[in-house]
A and B are shown apart, each in its own frame.
Chain A
Amino acid sequence: MIDVEPWIRDELERLAPFEAVERDWADALERSEQLAPRRDRKGLYRRRRLAIVVPIAALVLVGLVLLPTQLADRGHIGIVDRALAAVSGGPVLHAVLRIDTAEGWISPSGHPRFTTLNLSTGHERVVETTTEIWFDEERHTLHTTTTVNGAVQFDQLVTPSFSRSNLNRRDKPGMSATADVGLVASMTGYKEALASGRARIAGRGRFRGHEVIWIRFEQKSGVAEEVAVDERTYRALYLRAVCPRCTSRPATYAIVSLGGVSRAGADFARPVAPPASNGRYGNTETRAIPLRAASKLLRVQALWSGPEVAGIKLSLVQFVNNSRHSSLPITKRNVVGRGFGIRAIYGADVQANGGYRVPPGRPYVGVDETTSFRYGTGNFANRGGRFAETVAGAPVPMWPEIALSMTDRALWTAQTHRGQLWIEIDASSRALVVAAAKSLVSIRR
């Protein structure tokens, strides 16, 4: 197992080092002017289209303007005011948003791509991605964290003097975080719009189990955002962009919390730098072994999914010896870490040299297990060995829960921690990977 993130980061930095580049905004503007002839042709076309679009837009605008009045006539005049009152004050905007993972996380087979499945109860839950934002508009400072099932994946602090994230070990140039940075734009816009009266009521109805009122806001870009507030409490529940022309539907964010806090109560902590790579040079030795030798070589009781999984027979068992080294040439002296693993392959063609091959399109299963998530087998994307993560970036669940991930059309992965073993099962379908996980048993010596 290799700390792949530090390695990627270091190698990318060597490939294309960060360099200060001379600014020439005037040149960009001049080039844009040179694009004018093409634009003019488009302009003619656009003017023709406008003749049709403008009356429609005018109708929509009239409707939007009249709607609040109509609602007011029916006794709804205080909705926006009450929604404003539900947003607490404070100079630092604090928002916690959760992406509804039912949107945009669906595999072609119709299943969510990243879930946690309890094999005992059958209960399955979708992996949650949560974004937390702290934004100090006056100081142009923005702190954003994104977690996956609670594990921090992204942590970035942007200030006018420097920016820093958990992906890089050094500071990068600062920038003035403004209200148009990401979701902060709509959040700030929400609060301001409520206060200024720019908000409009776009409709009401049931959404994801809540009776809501949709309040529409024009963003600074001129495009609408809608926020759903609870009909009874007026708390903001969901946020979405309004984009009828978009090819993919904009995501709807569940608003976990939204409000203003004091500067003392805000979190503008500097993100922790990522750890150094745990040895740049890796070596893997793989050899076919008899099944009965697996536990002895792994030094703990090894597991397998039986002689066959859903009719797919065991092809071979391999022992994997991984080592990481601090320098070249690779010797025993410069080993910085070592991990062993056992790999059971089902449905493959065994080759004369002890390797294997799975012909394209053929169903297969691979069961990897190791006592070291950091150096052993599998794809436990650890952060410098601090903790093990699934391929989705979530913490690895304890057995009988498994993390299910689909990373390719015909590649499903299950990952779990059972006793001393970190287990990863790869298979060509979701059904196979679940079947293999369910049938895990000890290998008899």
Chain B
Amino acid sequence: VHLIRDRLLGEIEALYKERLDYFVQVARAITGDGERAREAVQDAFAAVVRSRHTFRGTGPLEAWVWRAVVNAARKANRRPVVELHEARSDLHEQSLVRSDLAPQLAILPERQRLVVFLRYYADLDYSTIASALEIEVGTVGATLAAAHRTLRKSLQEEVER
């Protein structure tokens, strides 16, 4: 058991070194703050290292780490995603066309938002996202489809005559 744990530690370290940029990018999208994102990811890895003996191996190790990072970022999140939009709202003030994603992401249900982040920031496939969020593979597809539907709808400016 000790050998397995040590081997896991090495694999966790390799993940940290190779994928840290992605973990922080997703955490930043969730928290809306770079520093808090970095802290959340460091805390997540600390927790992963500490609890590596509980890794059940039913999915990829990376998915398990993603789960820890997402949870840490959610915990650290005090400011919603929409603040990113407010910080840069001057860019398209002159337009009636809503092309900013941030406010639309903010109104998505949390699960949809997380699936979007893991899909597009982390390039994860459905099965890894499913493992990371502890949901069924089919639910990932349905959730992503629902998010696409909502975002597409909100992207279009409705002008009724």
Chain A residues with Cβ below 8 Å from B55 are 221, 223
Within 8 A of A (CB), among B107-150: 116-117, 119-121, 123, 125-128, 130, 134-139, 141-142, 145-146, 148-149
Per-residue contact bits, chain A 1-41, to B (CB 8 Å; 1 contact, 0 not): 11011011101101111111101110111111011100100
Q: Is the CB of A407 within 8 A of B138?
A: no
Q: Is the CB of A180 within 8 A of B11?
A: yes
If A16-B29, A222-B4, A243-B56 touch, whether A11 touches B127 (CB-CB below 8 Å) is no
Chain B residues with Cβ below 8 Å from A19 are 21, 24-25
**Separation in Å of the A416 CB from the closest CB of chain B?**
17
Q: In the complex, what residue of chain A is closest to B102 when comparing beta carbons?
A: A15
Q: Is the CB of B136 within 8 A of A105?
A: yes
Chain A residues with Cβ below 8 Å from B121 are 12, 16
Q: In the complex, what residue of chain B is closest to A394 when comparing beta carbons?
A: B141
Q: Is the CB of A28 within 8 A of B58?
A: no
Within 8 A of A (CB), among B5-21: 7-8, 11, 13-14, 16-21
**Separation in Å of the A291 CB from the closest CB of chain B?**
18
Q: Is the CB of A354 within 8 A of B161?
A: yes
Chain B residues with Cβ below 8 Å from A24 are 42
Q: Is the CB of B97 within 8 A of A281?
A: yes
Does residue A328 face the partner (Cβ distance < 8 Å to B)? yes
Q: Complex: how many Å from CA A156 to CA B125?
A: 9
Does residue B70 face the partner (Cβ distance < 8 Å to A)? no
If A113-B141, A173-B21 touch, whether A8 touches B120 (CB-CB below 8 Å) is yes
Q: Is the CB of B157 within 8 A of A282?
A: yes
Q: Is the CB of A221 within 8 A of B57?
A: yes
Q: Is the CB of B60 within 8 A of A185?
A: yes
Q: Is the CB of A27 within 8 A of B42?
A: yes
Chain B residues with Cβ below 8 Å from A167 are 119-120, 123
B: interface residue count bin: 35 or more
Chain A residues with Cβ below 8 Å from B155 are 2, 4, 7, 282
Q: Complex: how many Å from CA A408 to CA B150?
A: 12
Chain A residues with Cβ below 8 Å from B81 are 15
Q: Complex: how many Å from CA A153 to CA B121?
A: 16
Per-residue contact bits, chain A 394-425, to B (CB 8 Å; 1 contact, 0 not): 00000000000111100100000000000000
Q: Complex: how many Å from CA A32 to CA B43?
A: 8
Q: Is the CB of A28 within 8 A of B16?
A: yes
Q: Is the CB of B137 within 8 A of A219?
A: no
Number of A-B contacts (CB under 8 A): 247
Contacts A32-B49, A223-B55 known; 10 new A-B pairs at CB < 8 A: A2-B152, A4-B152, A18-B25, A105-B141, A114-B138, A183-B60, A280-B99, A322-B156, A330-B97, A393-B141
Instruction: Show the binding face of A for B, using Cβ within 8 Å.
Output: 1-2, 4-5, 7-9, 11-12, 14-21, 23-25, 27-32, 34-36, 39, 99, 101, 103-106, 113-114, 129, 131, 144, 146, 148, 153-154, 156, 163, 165, 167-168, 172-176, 178, 180-183, 185, 219-223, 241, 243, 245-248, 250-251, 280-287, 322, 325, 328-330, 353-355, 379, 381, 391-393, 405-408, 411
* 27 residue pairs A–B, Cβ–Cβ below 8 Å: A11-B101, A15-B102, A23-B16, A25-B13, A32-B49, A32-B50, A35-B50, A104-B137, A105-B138, A167-B119, A181-B62, A182-B60, A183-B60, A221-B4, A221-B8, A221-B55, A222-B1, A223-B55, A241-B58, A245-B56, A246-B58, A251-B127, A281-B95, A325-B97, A354-B161, A379-B148, A392-B145
Instruction: Show the binding face of B for A, using Cβ within 8 Å.
Output: 1, 4, 7-8, 11, 13-14, 16-22, 24-26, 28-29, 38, 42-43, 45-47, 49-51, 55-62, 81, 84, 92, 94-95, 97, 99-102, 105, 116-117, 119-121, 123, 125-128, 130, 134-139, 141-142, 145-146, 148-149, 151-152, 155-161
Q: Which 10 A-B pairs have the closest CB atoms?
A: A223-B57, A105-B138, A221-B57, A31-B46, A11-B101, A104-B136, A175-B18, A32-B49, A391-B145, A28-B45
